[in-house]
């Protein structure tokens, strides 16, 4: 009878190799989880995508973390999602979305048992977030991101001038902001309201502005410095 002896170092090395071989699973789990969660924010799936995405992400954190750290890390991950939602519904400038995505990446990376698994997990988050855009081609999209993309419907009934009008006559004229600019808002020039963009500047209500240029149907303004 032949006996095969396995020494401690050889056994430990085998366990490590098995762990590395399965690290790619983190990419699939975080990728699918993030894709469905972000997809729920982009398209109206009545919570189905949110449930599926939450299941994948919960599975990822439960696989590597003790209960105390599990609740901490998944809370930070959810915080990242909440920041993206706040950006889409309130600020519409992308700042909180970037912070939220970084928060998601860090929680996934630091929750992994080794750097290889963490790298796979972070890659899954990025690829999953990008892949969620494909849902826009299939399912009805939410109006959550309309302002940041300048696709809101501006009608005369809502107090706006027709979008087909030429605004070149406004170049050089001064006015005031009727709403905060983040960086889109409404201005008042010569008693009329117009939708405009501030070229990335954040302006407050009642700031004095001047029409800098007109690009097609877009009115670009800048703040008047007293």
Q: List, for residues 18-48, the tens digit of each pLDDT value.
A: 344 578 899 999 999 999 998 888 888 888 9
Confidence of residue 161 (pLDDT cuts 50, 70, 90): very low
Q: Which two tokens stand for residue 181?
A: 């600019």
Give the model confidence (pLDDT) of 69-87 as tens digits.
999 999 999 999 888 888 7
The pLDDT, as a whole number, for residue 182 is 79
Q: What is the pLDDT of residues 89-128, one digit of tens each?
A: 776 677 888 898 999 999 999 999 888 999 999 999 999 9
Instruction: For CA atoms 63, 65, 68, 73, give the dihedral sign.
Output: negative
Coil vs helix vs strand at 10:
helix
For the chain, where are the alpha helices, taking DSSP H only?
8-21, 24-42, 48-64, 67-86, 95-111, 115-131
- Cα 93-94-97 angle, rounded to 5 deg: 140
Query: Measured between alpha carbons, how far is 36 from 56 in angstroms, rounded to an integer?
Result: 9
| pLDDT band (50, 70, 90) for residue 143 | low
Q: How far apart are CA 163 and CA 95, in angstroms?
A: 28
What are the b/e assignments for 5-42, b being 16+ CB within 10 Å? eeeeeeeeeeeeeeeeeebeebbebbbbbbbbbbbbbb
Q: What is the band of 1 on the pLDDT scale with cuts at 50, 70, 90?
A: very low
Give, as one character, the DSSP assignment of residue 178.
S
What is the value of pTM for the model shown? Answer: 0.54
Q: Can you tell me which residue has the tokens 């605004």?
A: 167
**Domain 156-223, CATH among 3.40.50.2000, 2.40.50.140, 3.40.630.30, 3.30.70.20:** 2.40.50.140
Q: CB-based burial of residue 191 (10 Å sphere; 0-12 exposed, 13-18 middle, 19+ buried)? A: exposed
Largest Cα–Cα separation, the chain? 100
Which residues touch 205 (CB under 8 Å, ≥6 apart)?
Answer: 177, 178, 179, 180
DSSP 189-209: ETTEEEEEE-TT--B-TT-EE
CA distances for 172 relative to 43, 90, 211, 212, angstroms: 41, 30, 5, 6
When pLDDT is cut at 50, 70 and 90, the band that residue 183 belongs to is: confident
| Residue extent(s) of CATH 2.40.50.140 domains in the chain | 156-223
Q: Could you tell me the CA-to-CA distances from 207 to 198, 225, 226 in Å, in that order?
A: 12, 10, 11
- CA-to-CA distance for 62 and 120, rounded, in angstroms? 17
pLDDT of residue 226: 66
């Amino acid at each position: 009878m032949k006996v095969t002896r396995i020494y401690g170092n050889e056994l430990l090395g085998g366990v490590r190799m098995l762990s590395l071989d399965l690290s790619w699973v983190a990419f699939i789990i975080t990728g699918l989880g993030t894709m469905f969660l972000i997809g729920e924010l982009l398209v109206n799936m009545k919570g189905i995508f949110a449930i599926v995405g939450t299941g994948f992400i919960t599975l990822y954190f439960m696989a590597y973390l003790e209960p105390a750290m599990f609740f901490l890390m998944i809370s930070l991950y959810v915080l990242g999602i909440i920041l993206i939602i706040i950006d889409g519904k309130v600020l519409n400038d992308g700042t909180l979305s970037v912070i939220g995505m970084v928060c998601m990446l860090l929680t996934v990376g630091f929750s992994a048992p080794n750097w290889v698994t963490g790298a796979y997990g972070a890659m899954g988050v990025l690829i999953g977030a990008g892949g969620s855009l494909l849902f826009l081609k299939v399912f009805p999209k939410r109006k959550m991101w309309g302002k940041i993309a300048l696709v809101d419907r501006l009608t005369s009934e809502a107090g706006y001038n027709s979008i087909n009008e030429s605004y070149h006559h406004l170049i050089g004229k001064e006015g005031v902001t009727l709403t905060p600019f983040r960086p889109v808002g409404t201005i008042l020039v010569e008693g009329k309201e117009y939708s405009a963009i501030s070229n990335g500047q954040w302006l407050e209500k009642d700031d004095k502005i001047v029409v800098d240029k007109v690009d097609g149907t877009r009115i670009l303004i800048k703040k008047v410095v007293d």
